[in-house]
Chains A and B, each alone.
Chain A
Amino acid sequence: MKILLVDDEVELVSAMAERLQLRGYDADWTDSGDDALVMARTCSYDLAVLDIRMPKISGLELKRRLFELCPSMKFIFLSGQGSESDFKEGCAGGVCYLIKPIRIEDLVARIEEDATHGGDQ
């Protein structure tokens, strides 16, 4: 599975990508929504992990544009706001996102779930 991670915190997104690589995933990262759109233009990514709150292009807007480019792409959102109960509420409402700081095991579980059943589109 090829994964694209996008977050404006460079040190966060680069470390997260490295941790996924150590777990056997093919993970690229960028801190810019514009770069993400360029990187995804050949639709080589199966899944994108997007921070919701970023300057320039928000995670939700980026998801819309990536989905236009690559309709088969799956998405997982990260948010710095909210709590565990917000996350559960969001999932119950159909918009699944992980609250930062995340546990890598939770991200991997979401990735595997999306790989098996398909995630938010």
Chain B
Amino acid sequence: MTPQDSRQESREDLRFFGTVSASVSHELKNVLAVINEAAGLLEDLALMAGRGTPLDPERLARAATTILGQVRRGDTIVRAMNGFAHLPDEPEDATHAGTDLAAILNLAASLFTRMADMRQVSLRLGDCAPAMSQANPFDLIRLLHSAMLAAFGTMGRGDTLTVSLAPASEGTRLVLSPSGAPLALPDDPGFNALAARLDTVAALDDTGSLVLAIRR
């Protein structure tokens, strides 16, 4: 890889990090906005009670339940972002202890569900057999993001994309299965370069699923 290629790759990594950060920050904004309205409603009801309007316990409980639910939602989002932020910490060399593919898939599902929602498709985790890989986890989640984006682009409104893991004779198969029309192979130089770096072969099976064969 030339120094120029290396710089370009670093920029692509940063761009991907920015894309994910922007999506997560937008979702956190929504969490804060919901908490803001529920807390504001509690404040309104307290003010009214101060002026003599009887308090309705059911309304108070509903607002409190909303706040608690949004705190849990926010916590899930922050934990996923934290996990994502630490992926580049993994060394590239042989000291890399191995990547838990099921954990990466779970993380991808947490990070990219809103992306699916905005495209009016659903993202679902299927069977995830335990599997370890020597693949770099940051590159792997970038590859997944790229594959999912390509899949969402060919899927119809209301379709579901199920992502699963299965052992293979050599390595592991990561399968993206659409509920509707067959997927197409991602036509993106960035995807192809990443797949090559991860020693991963992308192919379509006869059900229209995209299969990523991770060989190491």
A residues in contact (CB < 8 Å) with B? 9, 11-12, 15-16, 18-19, 22, 53, 55-56, 80-81, 100-102, 104
| A contact residues around B69 at 8 Å (CB) | 11
Among A22, A80, A102, which residue has its beta carbon within 8 angstroms of that of B48? A22
Total contacts A-B at CB 8 Å: 56
For the complex with contacts A101-B29, A101-B37, 12 further pairs of A-B residues with Cβ separation under 8 Å are: A9-B33, A11-B34, A12-B37, A15-B40, A19-B37, A53-B26, A53-B118, A55-B118, A56-B120, A81-B26, A100-B32, A102-B36
| B37-61 CB contacts (< 8 Å) to partner A | 37-38, 40-41, 44, 48
Sampled A-B contacts (19; CB under 8 Å): A11-B38, A11-B70, A12-B34, A15-B40, A15-B63, A15-B66, A18-B41, A19-B37, A19-B41, A22-B44, A22-B48, A53-B118, A55-B119, A80-B29, A100-B30, A101-B29, A101-B33, A101-B35, A102-B33
Which chain A residue shows the least CB distance to B70? A11
| A contact residues around B35 at 8 Å (CB) | 101
| B14-42 CB contacts (< 8 Å) to partner A | 26, 29-30, 32-38, 40-41
A70 CA / B88 CA spacing, docked (Å): 52
Query: Cβ of B33 and Cβ of A80 under 8 Å apart?
Result: yes
A104 CA / B39 CA spacing, docked (Å): 11
| A contact residues around B32 at 8 Å (CB) | 100-101
Among A9, A22, A55, which residue has its beta carbon within 8 angstroms of that of B30? A9
Q: Interface residue tally of chain B, by bracket?
A: 20 to 34
| B157-213 CB contacts (< 8 Å) to partner A | 157
B117 within 8 A of A: yes
Which chain B residue shows the least CB distance to A54? B118
Query: Cβ of B34 and Cβ of A9 under 8 Å apart?
Result: yes
List the 10 closest pairs (A to B, CB-CB), nearest first: A101-B36, A15-B37, A100-B33, A80-B29, A101-B33, A12-B34, A11-B66, A15-B41, A11-B34, A101-B32
- Tell me how far the C-beta of B18 lies from the nearest C-beta in chain A, rounded to whole angstroms: 14
A101 CA / B67 CA spacing, docked (Å): 14
- Tell me how far the C-beta of B61 lies from the nearest C-beta in chain A, rounded to whole angstroms: 14
A100 CA / B35 CA spacing, docked (Å): 11
A16 CA / B34 CA spacing, docked (Å): 9
A53 CA / B48 CA spacing, docked (Å): 33
